[in-house]
Amino acid sequence: MKEQVRLQKYLAHCGISSRRKAEEIIKQGRVTVSGVVVTSMGEKITPGKDTVMCDGRLVSPPDELIYVLVNKPKGYVTTLSDPQGRPVVTSLVRDIDQRLFPVGRLDLDTEGALLLTNDGELAQKIQHPRFQTNKTYEALVQGHPGQAKLRDLEKGVEIEGKMTAPAVISVIKHLQRQTLVKITIHEGRKRQVKKMFDFVGNPVISLKRIAYGKLYLGKLGTGEHKILNSRDLKKIFL
């Protein structure tokens, strides 16, 4: 809402009332525009420029919902602030003038795709087990876990008394003493990928999340971010 809008429409957009009710409120002399009481219907205002008050209280539009994909570097904490003074992920989006919070978490030493948003509903949906949002990681693990171990991990292993949900795992590359694997899981248990590979005796050396659903990091560099559009958001649930 950047251009001029009718006052009653603006009041409705800001959640004061329905548009028709807003007309009544205006007629009752309860609304001021930049300090002047307005009772006529034709009045237009410029959001962000005119100060609109209703019953003495500032009327403001709801925060724009915003979704950002960050490529978290290692060493950044997935919190809003850190008592130990370590760098926090929200400092990577300082140019965005909204209070954003991370959706889920990545360990301090894990890098890669992390969503930040101010949309609590979408954040809950992504994390809710019912929606089974896939998260894909590239993990460099110690040694060479054979097919049998990988199939066990895919089927589910017991971690802290509870079986892990089915996963999809493939080998990207065998190195001399390590293996680079791709793993897709839809649970979000704490340190889950690391615990899964610990279970089969091939601890994770480094971990990078490369996608939520079919929303991939792509060319986004370490520490960079991009604002997501509705097409990007749909990919999260594919």
Q: Give the binding site for ligand URA (CB under 6 A).
A: 106-107, 110, 191-194, 207
Q: Which is nearer to ligand URA, 30 or 194 (CB)?
A: 194
First to last CA, the chain: 31
Residue 121 Cβ, how far from ligand URA at the closest point, in Å? 23
> Out of 50, 107, 152, 232, which one is annotated catalytic?
107
Measured distance CA(95)–CA(225) in Å, rounded: 10
Residue 105 Cβ, how far from ligand URA at the closest point, in Å? 7
Residue 9 Cβ, how far from ligand URA at the closest point, in Å? 45
* Whether the Cβ atoms of residue 103 and residue 151 lie closer than 8 Å to each other: no
Q: Which is nearer to ligand URA, 16 or 193 (CB)?
A: 193
Q: Which is nearer to ligand URA, 9 or 74 (CB)?
A: 74
Ramachandran region, residue 67 (left: φ > 0; alpha: ψ -120 to 50; beta: rest): beta
Six-digit token pair at 43?
Answer: 């009045």
Measured distance CA(210)–CA(136) in Å, rounded: 6
Six-digit token pair at 71?
Answer: 């490529």
Residue 129 Cβ, how far from ligand URA at the closest point, in Å? 15
198 assigned to active site: no
Tell me, what amino acid is at 149? Answer: K
Active-site residues, by number, are: 107
